[in-house]
Every structure is written in C-alpha cells, then in structure tokens.
Amino acid sequence: MELYKTNQLKIYNSLSKSKEIFKPLIEGKVGMYVCGPTVYSNVHLGNVRTFMSFDMIFRYLKHLGYKVRYVRNITDAGHLENDADAGEDRIAKKARLEEIEPMEVVQRYTVDFHETLQTINNLPPSIEPTATGHIVEQIEIIKDIIEKGFAYVENGSVYFDVLKYNEKEHYGILSGRNIEDSIHNTRELDGQSEKKNPQDFALWKKADERHIMRWPSPWSNGFPGWHLECSAMSTKYLGETFDIHGGGMDLKFPHHECEIAQSKVNNGVYPVNYWMHANMLILNGQKMAKSTGNYILPNEIFSGDNKILSKAFSPSATRFFMLQANYRSILDFTSAGLEASEKGYIKLMEALSGLDKIETSKTSSIAINAWKQKCYDAMNDDFNTPVLIAHLFEAVKFVNLLLDKKESISVEDLATLKSTFNAFVFDVLGLKNELQEDSSDKLSGVVEMLIAMRKDARDNKDWAMSDKIRDELAILGIQLKDGKEGTTFSVN
Ligand code: AMP
Ligand code: ZN
C-alpha cells in the first residue's frame, strides 16, 4: 500500500497562512509548479537553496508514493531588470554587453543551472518548459483577458487592469497587501506612464528598437510580461487548478500575486490549492542576491575559492547545511555553520556504514518502530527537515550503542532501521555517501597500482610474482582480466 494512505501530510499554505492537511485534486497524483531561474547569470547559492528545498519536497512526495508531475520553467525572455515592468530585458542586456546572441546567454546559463543542480544532487523536474517556447499560449491568454475587459492596450503594449480586478477580487490575497496601501507606496517608475495606474502590470510590452528579443502579436512586435509565462505554462501542463505552486519568498509579490490575477480572469478559477514559499539565504546580514554583489557561487564552495570560506566543502555537506534549517526559515550562510554541518554529515555517513556490522539478537532493547514514526511525523509536519535530522542523529546513537553491544536489536528491527535510515538520508534528503565514493576512488587507485606492478613482473618474466598478485586479489574478491587493451578489474 502506498505510504500516502497512512501518512497525513500537512503543508503550510502561504495563502491561508496556516498548515493544512494535504489533499491532492486527484488521489495519488500531485501537480507541482515551481518558478525556475532567469538564465542570465550563474545561479548563486541562494537560488540553489530554493530549488533544493523544492527538490526535497518533490522527493518526499515521491517517497510517499504519489505520482508527481513537477514542472519548473526556464525564464529565457520577458524578465526585465526592474520587476515592475521597467528597464531592459535581463537576458538581452547581458547579450548586448557581451556581444553575443541572447540565446547564447540562455544556453550558457541553462547549462550552468543544470550542472549545478546535478552536482548538489537535485532530481530533474518532469517537464522544464521555456517562456520563449510558449509565446503563442501567452498571446492567447492576453487576447482572452482583453476580451473579458481586464486588460487594455496602450501604444502597442498591453496592461492588466489591477483596479478593475480588485473591484470584485482581492489583488493582494497572497501577499496580504491591499491596493489602497500600494497606491500610497508605489513610486512612479520609468516607463510606467503608459499605465492607467502604477499597480497595473504588463502582459505584453512593445519592443523598442534596441530590443533583440521580439515576437509578432496583434498589438506590436514585442515580448510577454514576466508574470504571464508561469500562468501559461502551469495551465498548459497542470490544468486550470493544480495542487502546489512554489518559489522563493521574494516571488510572492508581485510575481505570484499577478499569476493569480491573470489565471483567475483567464480561467475563472483560482489556479493553485497550496502556495509554498521557501525562505531566503542570507549573507553578511543581507539577502544573497546577484544584483547587489552579495552572493557566493556553489563552485566557490566546492573549490574553497572564496575568502569567506575556511576551506572547500563538498556538495553533500553543503546540501546537509541547508537542510538543517527549515525551508521556511531564513538561513544565515557562514563558513563556521558549514564546518559544523560537515562534521554532522560525516557522523551520519559513518553510522550508515556501521549498519552492516551490527549483530542481531532475539529481541530489541530499542523501540525502532516508534523512532521510524517520529521520522515520518517530522516530514509530515510541513517537511520539517531539522526535526527529521535530529531523529537521524538519534539513529546514529543507536548504531554506536549497538556496535558497542550496549543495546540489542532483532533481525526484523535491524531491517527497519536500515531501510528507514537509508530512505530518509538518500532518497528524501538526497544526500550522497561521498565518504564511500572517496574510498572506492582510493581502492581503484591501489588496484591500478598493483596491475602496473604485475605488468612489470611479467615484463621481467617473474611469473610467480605476477600470479601471486592476481591470486591474492582474487581472494579479496577482485578479479583481473587480461585483454588486448591491457588489464581491467572487477570487484565482486
Ligand atoms: P531568479 O532567477 O532571480 O528568478 O531566482 C530564482 C529563484 O531563486 C527564485 O525562486 C527566487 O525566489 C530564489 N532566490 C533568489 N535569491 C534567493 C536567496 N537569497 N535565497 C533563497 N532563494 C533565493
Ligand atoms: Zn513564476
């Protein structure tokens, strides 16, 4: 039986600001959309934290037996320098500065994004659509919103009429803002003069002469507004209403607020049942951000090549550091914090390796099933990874006590301990045992050295030595195979 049938998962819904029992629209299936990166620069560790949080959520949903369709887009057009529809397109600007094609910028940073997430051991999403691949769908939505009277055309650009929408709906339902406050607080920004009200947002922007990325539309040669792509792609792949929509906390307003308004007008229904927001990674007391220069790149952490670091840290130690904080809490990035997490990570891996050396008894002195339940309770409580990790450290203690024969465990309970410990560490948290990989690298090195020594022996016609090396390795379960290309080995 699927685990979701016996586990009551609760999710903190940013819309209701409370933890709610998770009930997907279709039993056993989950549709999840997460806003992806704007591919105009290397992803920094803050971006990675958000994508890793949703990877952990994806992994746990899958672990519970849900069939998850996870859609995460690539923003390759339409995201202007200023989130409020002003300034140059971020990708076009980078292309202009570097004198390359916008699609070269997109390609370079999409590759970087994928490589980085793979290094940190994120699973790929089920679908990864791009904004430029969905221009037609976006134009259709704009036509529909204009027809319904909630958007207006001004000088080739199209704007969503927020005040009109707010007459019957609440623009601010997600972020807790109300339009009256924003009327008082909004500054007039460059390029906003076309708007009836500064709160309105662009659905389509007419491209000016220097804008390279442009498409024909009924209104002008131009490009879609940033918010629209997510409405178009989430509706297309997950339906008019779907289960989970995620992103970083900073996307709540205006991005997600605008998504709700567009989709509500377009489809007549609210798009999302559970809105989830991951909190920010902080550096030097401020949000990690590319625009301010206050950031660290994942590769700098893996190489140690940044003056704020005491040394290099592995991808799994970095991942573990981030998972030790709740995804809804702010996390302060420090080298000391990483060092402490690395120690914890090593303890965890050592305990996992120790599991195979435990001897079983007739009965157990440890309540393994109660411990297992606590692990599930932690994750069912809105994916509370720090509490889960505290329980995993309890398992580290069990392993050490069992190895010292200060506690006892039955065959059945040991099997439960092993499977639960492994499942949470590797499948759900997505850690890798880098210590084991490290020692298998070393083993390969030693065997290669012995193969070279055996070759020297054979070249010297020292058949006794050559046979001795082969036979001793065979006793250890390492088989040598001589072929045309030289000698290879396999480990049984
Ligand atoms: P962007 O490419 O700027 O659209 O950002 C991609 C994702 O990273 C979004 O979900 C952002 O909310 C998230 N993000 C940006 N800065 C941070 C940060 N300092 N900590 C955590 N997430 C962040
Ligand atoms: Zn989005």
- What pLDDT digit, counting tens, does each position of 445-479 carry? 888 889 999 999 999 999 999 999 999 888 888 89
Structure tokens at 168: 């019957």
The predicted structure's pLDDT at residue 95 = 85
Q: Are residues 89 and 12 in the same domain?
A: yes
- Nearest residue to 247 via CA among 90, 63, 30, 57: 57
Task: Say if residue 310 is in the same domain as residue 407.
Answer: yes
CB 324 near ligand 1, within 6 Å: no
Residue, of 68 and 435, whose pLDDT is higher: 68
Amino acid type, 282: I
- For residue 254, say if its preceding peptide bond is cis, omega within 30 degrees of 0: yes
Q: In Å, what is the CA distance from 448 to each residue of 174, 474, 475, 483, 488? A: 60, 14, 17, 15, 9
In the chain, the number of structural domains is: 3
Q: How far is the CA of 40 from the centre of ligand 1 (A)?
A: 13
Q: Going by CA atoms, what residue is nearest to atom 1 of ligand 1?
A: 37
**Of the candidates 275, 100, 246, 37, which has an alpha carbon nearest to the alpha carbon of residue 173?**
275
Distance of CA 297 from the midpoint of ligand 2 (Å): 23
4 or 100, which is more confident: 4
Nearest-atom index, ligand 1, CA of 281:
20
Helices 335-354 and 411-422: angle between axes, nearest 10 degrees? 150
Closest CA to 80 of 127, 114, 117, 131: 131
Q: Which atom of ligand 1 is nearest to the CA of 283?
A: 19
For residue 151, the cross-strand partners are 160
The token pair that represents 266 in the structure block: 């377009």
Instruction: Report helix angle 257-267 to 135-147, nearest 10.
Output: 70
Is the domain of 54 the same as that of 200? yes
C-beta 280 within 6 A of ligand 1: yes
CATH label of the domain that carries residue 31: 3.40.50.620
Mean pLDDT of 132-148: 97
Q: Which of 358, 394, 355 is nearest to 374 (CA)?
A: 394
C-alpha to C-alpha distance for 299 and 118, rounded to whole angstroms: 12
**From ligand 2's centre to the CA of 36, what distance in Å?**
7
Question: CB of 80 closer than 6 A to ligand 1?
Answer: no
**Stretch 275-301: mean pLDDT:** 96
Looking at 378, 403, 428, the residue that finishes a domain is: 428
Instruction: State yes or no: pLDDT of 65 exceeds 90.
Output: yes
- pLDDT number for residue 182: 66
Residue with CA closest to ligand 1 atom 18? 46
35-44, 54-63, 84-93, 389-398: least confidently modelled range:
84-93
Find the ligand nearest to 247 CA.
1
182 and 201 assigned to the same domain: yes
Q: Tell me the mean pLDDT in the region 147-152.
A: 98
Same domain membership, residue 237 and residue 340: no
Q: Which one is predicted more confidently, 477 or 12?
A: 12
CB of 50 sitting under 6 A from ligand 1: yes
Ligand 1 midpoint to CA 319 (Å): 16
Do 274 and 287 share a domain, yes or no? no
Q: Whose CA is nearest to atom 14 of ligand 1?
A: 47
CB 33 within 8 A of CB 245: yes
Q: How far is the C-alpha of 378 from the C-alpha of 428, rounded, in Å? A: 12
Query: Does the pLDDT at position 61 exceed 60?
Result: yes
Specify the pLDDT at position 190: 47
331 and 204 fall within a common domain = no
Q: Which two tokens stand for residue 290?
A: 């590319």
User: Do 458 and 421 fall within a single domain?
Assistant: no
Is 366 in the same domain as 291?
yes
- Answer yes or no: is the C-beta of 250 below 6 A from any ligand 1 atom: yes
For ligand 1, atom 10: residue with the closest CA? 248
Q: Check residues 241 and 85 and name the one with the higher pLDDT.
A: 241
Atom of ligand 1 nearest to the CA of 282: 19
The answer to whether the CB of 41 is under 6 A from ligand 1 is: no
Query: Which residue among 50, 94, 321 has the greatest number of ligand 1 atoms within 8 angstroms of its CB, and so is best to mutate?
Result: 50
Ligand nearest, relative to CA of residue 51: 1
Instruction: State whether 400 and 466 are in the same domain.
Output: no
With cut-offs at 50, 70 and 90, classify the pLDDT of residue 84.
low
209 alpha carbon – ligand 2 mean position (Å): 27
**For residue 203, which of 233, 226, 169, 179 has the smallest C-alpha distance?**
226
Q: φ and ψ at 30, to 5 degrees?
A: -130, 130
Mean predicted confidence (pLDDT) in 38-57: 97
Kindly state if the Cβ of 102 falls inside 6 Å of ligand 1.
no
Query: 50: CA distance to ligand 1 center in Å?
Result: 6
201 C-alpha to ligand 2 centroid (Å): 14
Residue 479: which domain range? 434-491
Q: Is the CB of 263 under 6 A from ligand 1?
A: no
Distance of CA 432 to the CA centre of its chain: 16
Give me the mean pLDDT over the 6-26 stretch: 98
Among 409, 428, 447, where does a domain finish?
Answer: 428
The neighbour count for residue 182, using CB atoms within 10 Å, is 18
Q: What is the CATH number of the domain that holds 360?
A: 1.10.730.10
Task: Output the six-digit token pair for 402.
Answer: 């069992």
Residue 376 has pLDDT above 90, yes or no: yes
What is the rounded average pLDDT of the residues 38-65?
Answer: 97
Distance 334 CA to ligand 2 centre (A): 29
Residue minimizing CA distance to atom 8 of ligand 1: 47
Per-residue pLDDT band at 439 (split at 50, 70, 90): confident
Please work out whether the CB of residue 247 comes within 6 Å of at least one atom of ligand 1.
yes
Residue 295 alpha carbon, nearest atom of ligand 1: 19
Do residues 418 and 440 share a domain?
Answer: no
Compute the mean pLDDT over every residue in the chain, rounded to the nearest whole number: 93
pLDDT at 170 over 80: yes
Opening angle at CA 422, ends 353 and 351, nearest 5: 30
Give 8 Cα–ligand 1 centroid separation in angstroms.
Answer: 30
**Residue that terminates a domain, selected from 251, 278, 305:** 278
105 plus 138 within the same structural domain: yes
**256 CA from centroid of ligand 2 (Å):** 7
Percent of the chain with pLDDT strictly greater than 70:
97
Answer whether 251 contacts ligand 1 (Cβ < 6 A).
yes
